[in-house]
Structure 1
Amino acid sequence: MSEATKAHPVFQPKPNAIEQIFGRRKAIIGVIHSLALPGSPNYDGQPISEIIDFAVAEAERYKAGGVDGLIVENHGDIPFAKPDRLGPETAASMAVMADTVRRASGLPIGVNVLANGAIQAIAVAKAAGAAFVRVNQWSNAYVANEGLMDGPAGEAARYRAFLRGRNIKIFADVHVKHGAHAITGDRTIQELARDNEFFDADVAIATGQRTGDSATMEELQAINAGTALPVTVGSGVNPDNIGDIFTVADAVIVASYMKRDGVWWNPVDPERLNVFMEAVKKARN
Structure 2
Amino acid sequence: MQWIKETFGSYKPIIAMCHLRALPGDPYFDLGGGMDKVVELARQDLHGLQDGGVDAVMFSNEFSLPYLTKVRPETVASMARVIGELRSEIKIPFGVNVLWDPIASIDLAVATGAKFIREIMTGVYASDFGLWNTNVGETVRHKMELGAKDLKMLFNIVPEASKYLADRDIVDIAKSTVFNNRPDALCVSGLTAGAETDSGVLTRVKQAVPETAVFCNTGCRLETIERQLSIADGAVVGTTFKVDGKFDNLVDPVRVKAFMEKVKSFRGQHQKFK
TM-score (structure 1 length as normaliser): 0.89
Check conservation: 1:17, 1:203, Cα contact below 8 A: no
Write the mapping of 1:113-152 to structure 2, written as runs, cut at 5 A: 113-114=98-99, 116-135=100-119, 137-152=120-135
**Residues 109, 131 of structure 1: 8 Å contact kept:** yes
User: CA 1:203 to 1:100, structure 2 compared with 1: closer, same or farther past 3 Å?
Assistant: farther
The aligned counterpart of 2:4 is: 18
Task: Find the partner of 2:84 among 73, 94, 99.
Answer: 99
2:171 counterpart letter in structure 1: Q
Asked if the contact 1:56/1:100 (under 8 Å) is kept, the reply is no
- What is the CA-CA distance between 1:157 and the residue it aligns to? 0.6
Name the CA distance, whole Å, in 1 between partners of 2:163 and 2:50.
Answer: 35
Cα separation, 2, equivalents of 1:256 and 1:107: 20
Q: Counterpart amino acid of 2:38?
A: I
Work out the CA distance in 1 between the residues paired with 2:242 and 2:213: 26
Q: TM-score, normalised by structure 2?
A: 0.92
User: Quick check: 1:61 aligned with 2:53?
Assistant: no
Report if aligned partners of 1:16, 1:229 keep a CA contact under 8 Å in 2.
Answer: no
Contact kept, 8 Å, 1:102 with 1:109, in 2: the verdict is no
Give the Cα separation in 1 of the matches to 2:42 and 2:190: 25
Quote the residue 1:248 is aligned against. 231
Kindly indicate whether residue 68 of structure 2 is the aligned counterpart of residue 81 of structure 1.
yes
Correspondence list, 1:124-203, <5 A: 124-135=108-119, 137-181=120-164, 183-185=165-167, 187-197=168-178, 198-203=180-185
**C-alpha distance in 2, partners of 1:100/1:63?**
16
Distance 2:174 2:16 in 1: 23
Residue identity matched to 2:234: A
Query: Helix, strand or coil: the match of 1:148?
Result: strand
Structure 1 CA distance, aligned partners of 2:13 and 2:75?
A: 28
Partner Cα separation in structure 2 for residue 97 and residue 18 of structure 1? 26
When the two structures are aligned, how many residues end up with a matched partner? 265
Report the secondary structure of 2:14's partner residue.
strand
- Alpha-carbon distance, 1:102 to partner: 3.9
- Mapped to 2, the partners of 1:82 and 1:249 lie a distance apart of 28
1:211-269 deviations in Å (ceiling 9; x for gaps): 11111111111111222211111111011111111112111111111100111221111
How far has the Cα of 1:279 moved from its partner?
A: 1.7
Q: Post-superposition shift, 1:171?
A: 0.6
Q: What secondary structure sits across from 1:75 in the alignment?
A: coil
Partner of 2:16: 30
Q: Aligned to 1:230, which of 213, 236, 252?
A: 213
Residues in 1 aligned to 2:10 and 2:258: alpha-carbon distance in whole angstroms: 21
- Equivalent residue in structure 1 for 2:244, among 252, 258, 261: 261
Partner of 1:219: 201
Identity within the alignment, %: 29
Pairing partner for 2:58 from 58, 66, 71 = 71
Cα distance per residue 1:29-74 (max 9 Å; x no partner): 1101111111111113333232112112111110100001001010
Q: Which residue of 2 aligns with 1:6?
A: none
**1:206 counterpart = 2:188:** yes
Q: How far off is 1:82 after superposition?
A: 2.2
SS for the counterpart of 1:194 is: helix
- 8 Å CA contact 1:16, 1:230 repeated in 2: no
Q: Aligned partners of 2:175, 2:13: CA distance in 1, in Å?
A: 23
How far is 1:106 from its partner?
1.5
Q: CA RMSD of the aligned region, Å?
A: 1.4
Amino acid paired to 2:110: K
After TM superposition, give the deviation of residue 142 of structure 1 in Å.
1.1
SS in 2 for 1:184: coil
What secondary structure does 2:63 align onto?
helix
> Hey, what's the Cα distance between the residues in 1 that align with 2:80 and 2:182?
24
The Cα shift of 1:99 comes to: 3.4
